[in-house]
Structure 1
Amino acid sequence: MGTFRIEGGAPLKGEITPQGAKNEALQVLCTVLLTPEKVTITNIPDIIDVNKLIALLSNLGVKVQKLGHGAYSFQADEVNLSYIESEAFKKEGAALRGSIMIVGPLLARFGKGYIPKPGGDKIGRRRLDTHFEGFINLGAKFRYNEEDHFYGVEAERLKGTYMLLDEASVTGTANIVMAAVLAEGKTTIYNAACEPYLQQLCNMLNSMGAKITGVGSNLLEIEGVDSLGGCEHRILPDMIEIGSWIGLAAMTQSEITIKNVSWDNLGVIPSTFRKLGITLERRGDDIYIPAHTEGYEIQSYIDGSILTIADAPWPGFTPDLLSIVLVVATQARGSVLIHQKMFESRLFFTDRLIDMGAQIILCDPHRANVIGLGFKSKLRGILMSSPDIRAGISLLIAALSAKGVSIIQNGDQIDRGYERIDERLKAIGAKITRID
């Protein structure tokens, strides 16, 4: 397992460019299974989870060619369906939660899709019901081998239908959309997720010949087509990484410019950080954050009550950034209630922050009250371990702002979602060393 050694307290300065979006990459990479023609995708992040999915596609028989940094071509004209029933697939598919999104394309094009119970972050229950209920609505037969934890869906030809999703699941919506584009007739999906990355997926599918309307809303209508063709697609910058760098700049009181952020796709992220008192300036398509040498102060509501920041489906605040907001609040002036509605284990990393000197009251698995220290009392470096991707980067940001040396074990969790994290932070002055 990788380990990071961080010397905290040094101000950073410079420019940093966000990687391609991890969550978009895991969706759009699976679309290559929908066509025998060549698909070219650029701005793919070089991170563990995405690389695992590319390897999985290659093992399925997809012809993968690297064209340059972050650029690949894929051609699924000789897919090896026997692989999805192999022991090797059960092992490799279980190591990656994103592997669930190959099921929809395989079902739509080849009439069957299998997947072992996928892995990923241990942040609470992340059920798959929405995915499989959608496939069943389209006419697929579902089976589950409890002994092997192996899921399967089969159908000779999917048929379009109306469905109301029980939750606005991003990956569930993506999977159902990829299945429905080749279904017979019209599919209507209500309560669909509408995140920018889901919009990117729909726009990519339309460029391949799909007929999807309502993109950007929670009501999608899909006219099934007989086949899809190839295309070229560029992945958006990662909004979670952008939010991470905003938090990093504030916590380390550093002057940082985040380049090419695709402002129009950031939603409420900038305004949420402004509620914590952080100054953000839009410069073209960049975000400029000045050094907060005087600190930053959390806003309160008009009636004077404590600010609450909670996650919600898009266009609400993304749950992947609540860990960052919580860490940033530890050095603000004032208090804030963090309400993590979607995952019941995501706030448990706060015990590491408390060990570092933060003042946090964990009310229950979903809520934490943070009393900001206003930089009057710096966090202190400690030995800790990264429990998941988002908590890991949050602890890394805390360590960079802390007095003394911190050691973060299980750094592979951070590498799952952040490309060359140590090299890129060193380039703006961070004192971080990777210990293998």
Structure 2
Amino acid sequence: MDFEHSPKVQDLRRRLLAFMDEHIYPNEKRHAQEAHASFMNAERTGGPYTGLPLMEELKRKARAAGLWNLFLPEDEHGAGLTNLEYAPLCEIMGRRYWSAEAFNCSAPDTGNTEVIARYGNEAQKARWLQPLLDGEIRSSFAMTEPAVASSDATNIETRIRRDGDDYVIDGRKWYITGAMNERCKLFILMGKTDPDNPDRHRQQSMIIVPRDTPGITVVRDMALVNHYDAPFGHPEVIFDNVRVPASNLLLGEGRGFEIAQGRLGPGRIHHCMRMIGMAESALEMMCERAVSRVAFGKPLSDQGVWRERIARGRMLIDQTRWMVLHAAWRMDTVGNKVAAKEIAMIKVIAPNNCIQVIDDAMQAFGAMGLSQDTLLVNFWAYARHLRVADGPDEVHTNAVAKQELGPYRAKVA
């Protein structure tokens, strides 16, 4: 294993750091103001959230700087980076939870773009892929449902029923990230085309549903840790007799679970990469606070409890980073399916380790750490939601344990 950055990655990393210094960090206040205005001017139930003028400016600058679609491994569409090469770049973008969109590298568009590029037919690519690659539109991934434990994807109840040359969709989804945004033009939806199939993993299919199709109703935006995530949102959505052409089906009937596994591997590790960036920012804030804040007659940095927390933060971040790099290397060398255990481990480790670092930073700031005057609450909310998003901790720990126990069970079988 060689985790040394290649010359190509070193160059991209240098340019990305410079872009963050010049365009992202100085615009934090403006971003917060525009996001707040976007939410206040939107209808909380059904109305679209408007895009931010700042983000459109940043996207033009990032594309001109050659910092665009870095997540895509395909040379014809992206930067041609491996998972291992993308990791340090994704981490840098994660230092501000909102900045990945400026580089067209934000979820759920990254996963949806990869799905269409990898599994879509030529007509689907022609209609949807290029606008996504150009950052002209946004998308959503409609999988989670309120009525069932969606951590087991075989539980989903949304029906996708064939009717002549169309499919008809009926179901209710929620926490559908990005679906409130006015630029969201499509859902990639997972539902059941064959609910009676004895193979529970062949019952599901995925289909592209244009956002403006009749029968789609946004019920409400869902708060994320009591925070409405303008301008994207995470709404609850009803699909009532929604009719789309049969040609919108991805890959074929019964292959939805297969697509989901292919999509979620990179998506999970990208979340973990970004999470490391947020934890690094939190540790920086904690150190700056510790050397400048005086309590009980001396700086926090001279007090043993804070030195312990700072040391713990560094160790937790570095542990997480090396585990993520190892998982990325495994994905590149043996494939996502074989690297499933490593992906599952980092999906548990990253949010839990980084929550601890962020929580300690919040504590260092006292009341201010719980307020809107730092980014720490946003970081914490992102980390906490990641313990549930793309599969909860319990699912991933169970998967790791099953792989560990496999050889031992075989011996006693």
Alignment TM class, shorter chain as reference? under 0.3
What TM-score comes out, normalization by structure 2 length? Answer: 0.27
Higher relative CO (Cα under 8 Å, sequence separation at least 6) belongs to 1
Structure with bigger helix share is 2
- Larger fraction in strand: 1
Q: TM-score normalised to the size of structure 1?
A: 0.26
